[in-house]
Amino acid sequence: MPIKDAPVYLDAAQRFRTLFHDAHTHAAYAPGRFEVLGNHTDYNEGFVLSAATNFGTYALASPRADDRCELTSLSVSHSAHSTVNGLAPEPETSWANYVWGVLAGLRTLGQVSTGCNILVAGDLPLGAGLASSAALEISTGLVLSTLYGISVSRLDLARIGQRAEQEFVGANTGLLDQISSLHGESHQLVMTDFRTLEVETLPFAKDMCFVMCNTRVNHALSDGQYNDRRKHCEDAAIFFDGVLDHEVTALRDVSWVEWQEHHQGMDEIRARRCAHPIGENDRVIRGRDLLMRGDLDGLGALMYESHQSSSEYFENSCPELDFVVATARSIPGVLGARLSGGGFGGSAILLTHSRDTDVIMHATTSAYRNEYDRDCETRRLIPSPGASLIG
């Protein structure tokens, strides 16, 4: 269904008119993302294999005559306001900080002299590890840059979203989420080199898809765990730069063999933490080759391997995610499974044939309910087009 005909967008347009007493003048859409391989490799200048989702966020906007910025989210049923000269992080409305951070970033590229009305809505589950924050940043970035006539490249827009998370939210994230949201293509996976920021899309079989299993375990990257892991990786890169006979500016420069040879010279925590992105880089390269050969069984095996590394080395999994992945191994038709996103909760994704998704979702939800006496959420994830304006 074209995004301009989606029920979520049509409802948002009607709600905008009711709320602001006039129709919106500009609109944009940005999808979430899921990561197939390449967990926590983006800020280590490594590689990631990801995709834009078939769920996302709509942003509708119109200009105001004064300097006031009125923001409403239908997803969280909350409103916030600021002024174009008073943009600052708001501890009581953390979701709004993503938008204020994006608007502040756009102001560095062009003139923003008047305020605006903004309404955001979507069908992307919040806190599920599918980059709902990046979808919010990119959709509002697209709509506001168009509203104010500010020319911004896709890479600059991704960087504006990243700075919004770092400076207005407090999560020292990489660029994976924003780049995936911007570069997605229908039935294509997105391969990104985060040293050069080169992006290519790789064909993904149309009869295959992924199943999301949202554990509903709170997923928040601004509580310190994400930043701690990143600091451990940066410390490890400094260590390897001092012991290897070649330059190391990031963990991307360290091979698995080099980790095996030298990790005992580090403290145990940092040695385990850095093992994960080092191994992930190798898995992404192998995964790309398997994908190009059509070996989806091999790709699925790497997903299982990736999750084991997350759980054992990086410790960004949780019992619920480990349970889902272990359960997936016993369900016929599942080729691979792993956590997706920053971790510490959120979702696991399962690689499968499209024909098997209903059976797999039922088996997963039943097992989860029996184990935890509560429901998880399952959805079919299809690699989909990236962010765009709505004409």
What DSSP assignment string belongs to 236-305? HHHHHHHHSSS--SSGGG--HHHHHHHGGGS-HHHHHHHHHHHHHHHHHHHHHHHHHTT-HHHHHHHHHH
Tokens 């792993």 appear where?
Answer: 338
CA contacts within 13 A on the Cβ side of 327: 23
pLDDT of 170:
85
Q: Who's near 238: CB < 8 A, 6+ residues apart?
A: none
Phi then psi dihedrals of residue 240, to 5 deg: -65, -30
Tokens of 361: 């979702």
Positive or negative: CA dihedral 342, 379, 362, 371: positive
pTM of the complete model: 0.92
Core vs surface per residue 348-377: b (16+ CB within 10 A) or e: bbbbbeeebbeebbebbeebbeeeeeeebe
Residue-level pLDDT at 222: 44
Q: Does domain 208-381 have CATH number 3.30.870.10?
A: no
What is the C-alpha separation between 198 and 262, in angstroms, rounded? 30
The tokens of 379 are what? 């959805």
What is the per-residue pLDDT across 143-198, written as a single tens digit (0 to 9) for each?
999 999 999 999 999 999 999 999 999 887 889 999 999 999 999 999 999 999 99
Which stretches of the chain score pLDDT less than 50?
221-222
Tokens for 186, please give them: 């229908």
3-203+385-389 topology per CATH: Ribosomal Protein S5; domain 2 (3.30.230)
pLDDT digits (tens, 9 = 90+) for 326-339: 999 999 999 999 99
Helix (H) or strand (E) holding 38: none
Nearest-5° Cα angle at 63, 62 to 69: 95
Question: Residue ranges of the domains in the chain?
Answer: 3-203+385-389, 208-381
> Active site includes 241?
no
Within its chain, how far is the Cα of 222 from the centroid? 14
Look at residues 112, 103, 100, 104 and name the one whose alpha carbon lies nearest to residue 149: 112
Q: Where do runs of H (alpha helix) occur along the chain?
A: 7-20, 94-107, 132-147, 154-163, 176-183, 225-243, 256-262, 268-292, 296-309, 319-329, 357-372
Q: Is 77 left (phi over 0), alpha (psi -120 to 50) or beta?
A: left
Report which secondary-structure segment, H or E, holds 205: none
Catalytic residue among 22, 66, 177, 223: 177
How distant, in Å, are the alpha carbons of 83, 110, 254, 255, 272 from that of 260?
54, 49, 10, 9, 11
Q: Can you tell me which residue has the tokens 């960087």? A: 159
Predicted local confidence at residue 342, as pLDDT:
83
